[in-house]
Amino acid sequence: MFDCLKRTLGASLLAGALALGFASGAWAKVELTMYYPVAVGGPLTKIVDGLVADFMKENPDIDVKAIYSGNYNDARIKALAALKSGKPAQLSVMFSIDIYELIEQDAIVAFDDIVETPEEKAWLKKFYPALMENGITGGKTWGIPFQRSTIVMYYNKDAFRDAGLDPEKPPATWGELAEMGKKLVKKDAANRVERWGVMIPSTGYPYWMFGALAMQNDQVLMNSAGNETFFDAPGTVGALEFWLDLGKTHKIMPQGTIEWGTLRQNFLEQKTAIMWHSTGNLTVVKKKAGFDFGVAMLPASKRRGTPTGGGNFYIFKQTTPEERKAAMKLIRFLTQPERTAEWSMKTGYLATRPDAYETPALMDYVSKFPPAAVARDQLKYATAELSTYQTGRVRKLLDDAIQAALTGAKSPNEALSAAQKQADRLLKRYR
């Protein structure tokens, strides 16, 4: 014990002396601090630590401290607090929708201002355009996609067989969803529901699920400048009416709100035949499902659609040119096709660029486990996640409106009109 203490003390003294001695030296190491969040279960911290260790082996002149910092909200709070305290991180993974907040705080630099070589400029174009939507505003790229997801439909093939449906034909339209849902509902002798048709979570991130429904009704929720929302557009109202009707009219979903955190358990215990959830759950569902399950794209009303989700890399403004260069090196390393493919296989998150799906490892994985490709195939229908100036407040307005409608406190039209009015008031000064 004492020995150990002495050794640590000695080491830190030595490190201190070294730092003093060499801080100004030409061969000082570049030190990077990076915060990153984890939003779904699983050993993600270990995977990130492994990737960072690989990077440092290849780049001995760069020292990276990757710090796990809770969920997306915590990561943003920590990064902004570090910024205010004068000891900022150089780069971080944060929610892709934090972009306007970070720009307003004057906290980040655009990648366009950092890239130098033609090769680096080309690198900016290597990612899926749908994943870049949340990272681009005002013609500049501020965020590089890293842990990104979409919503997909998980369905229980055994339940489909049980209900006399073709397990290889999941619902492709809203009409089919309602119709098949009715067949999938199973009741016991006392007319109590034993298995629901479908569950769409409405706590935690209701606006995210709703973004999918609205997109399917051919309506986006906001403009790309982030200063206008379309909450009371007919397409948006229609989407909320459909969501409400799943429980109220079709009786294939429990009424009231559905908990995000326990939904996966509901699906695994076969209390619902279909659930809509993040692709980030794929690996866990694969490990734990005691039945035959499938993954499909979300159904369409006027078209298919889903918002993207997840975290992007940002580089902070308070950095030296050397640090920016090192940060770029790290981000480019972590987004190489092979690494992205590895990340995707271990987590279920998307591989963020098309050439990652052409690596032998991921091609092999997809051929053995086709659900892994659903999120990628769905990307061509994807749109940005709700993100505006004053994003926390605007998001909450929509969340509250959705929950008010689903619990029957207000009609969809009423709830969304009120939310739109308040969002207009908040966003007026950004136009």
Partner 1 sequence: MSRAGSTRVHLYGWLLLAPAAILLIAFTHYPTGATLVHSVFSEGTALRPSTFVGLENYGFMMGDEVFWRVVGNNFWFAVGTIPASIALALLMAVWVNGRLPARGLVRMAYFTPTILPMIAVANIWLFFYSPDIGLIDQVLRLFGASGHNWLGDPDTVLGCIIIMTIWKESGFFMIFYLAALQSLPPELEEAAKLEGAKRWYIFRRITFPLLMPTTLFVLINATINSFKLVDHLFILTKGGPDNASSLLLYYIYEVAFSFFEEAYAATLTAVLLAVLAVISIGQFAILDKRIHYR
Binding footprint of partner 1 on the chain (CB under 8 A): 73, 77, 80, 101, 104-107, 190-193, 196, 202-204, 254-259, 261-262, 265-266, 269, 271, 390, 392-393, 396, 399-401, 403-404, 406-407, 409
In angstroms, give the least distance from the CB of 144 to partner 1: 23
Which residue carries 């997801």 as its tokens? Answer: 149
Residue with smaller CB distance to partner 1, 131 or 402? 402
60/261 with CB nearer partner 1: 261
Contact in structure between 386 and 308 (CB atoms under 8 Å): no
* Least spacing, CB of residue 77 vs partner 1, in Å: 5
From the CB of 400, what's the least distance to partner 1, in Å? 5
Least CB distance from residue 123 to partner 1, whole Å?
29
Our CB check for partner 1 shows the closer of 403 and 417 to be 403
Question: Between helices 44-58 and 321-334, what is the axis angle to 10°?
Answer: 120
Q: How far is the CB of 393 from partner 1 (least distance, A)?
A: 5
CB 340 within 8 A of CB 356: yes
Contact 400, 419 (CB under 8 A): yes
- Of residues 101 and 342, the one with the C-beta less far from partner 1: 101
Nearer Cβ to partner 1 (76/353): 76
Measured from the CB atom, is 8 or 262 closer to partner 1?
A: 262
Question: Least distance in Å: CB of 181 to partner 1?
Answer: 16
| 80/209 with CB nearer partner 1 | 80
- What CA–CA distance (Å, rounded) separates 208 from 83? 28
Burial class, 10, CB count within 10 angstroms (exposed 0-12 / middle 13-18 / buried 19+): exposed
Looking at this protein, which amino acid is placed at residue 68? Y
Where do we find the tokens 């401290």? 65
Helix, strand or coil for residue 294?
A: strand
- Smallest gap, in angstroms, from Cβ of residue 332 to partner 1? 28
CB of 255 to partner 1, least distance (A): 7
Q: How far apart are CA 225 and CA 262, in angstroms?
A: 35
Supply the minimum distance, in Å, between the C-beta of residue 104 and partner 1: 6
At its nearest, how many Å lie between partner 1 and the CB of residue 216? 23
Comparison of 12 and 265: residue with beta carbon closer to partner 1: 265
Q: Which long-range contacts (CB under 8 A, 24 or more apart) does 49-52 make?
A: 51/334, 51/339, 51/343, 52/330
Whole-angstrom Cα distance, residue 217 to residue 212?
9
Q: Which is nearer to partner 1, 354 or 392 (by Cβ)?
A: 392
Q: Which residues pair with 108 in a beta bridge?
A: 316
Q: How large is the angle between the packed helices 234-248 and 391-406, nearest 10 degrees? A: 40
Q: How far is 336 from 90, CA to CA, in rounded Å?
A: 20
Residue closer to partner 1 by CB (options 193, 225) is 193
Decide whether 34 or 199 has the Cβ nearer to partner 1: 199
Measured CA to CA in angstroms, residue 133 lies from 40, 129, 182, 333, 375 at distances of 22, 6, 37, 22, 16
CB of 19 vs partner 1, minimal distance in Å: 30
Q: With b meaning 16 or more CB within 10 Å and e meaning fewer, what string describes 172-210?
A: eebeebbbbbebbbbeeeeeeeebbbbbbbbebbbbbbb
Q: For residues 85 and 83, give the distance between their C-alpha atoms in angstroms, rounded to a whole number.
A: 5
**Which residues does residue 136 pair with via DSSP β-bridges, in sequence order?**
141
Report angle CA 257, 252, 260 to the nearest 5 degrees: 30
Provide, rounded to whole angstroms, the least separation between the CB of residue 388 and partner 1.
Answer: 12
Element (H, E) at 30: strand 30-36
- Please state, in angstroms and rounded to a whole number, the distance separating the CA atoms of residues 333 and 123: 11
The nearer residue to partner 1, 1 or 190, going by C-beta atoms, is 190
R_g over Cα of the chain: 23
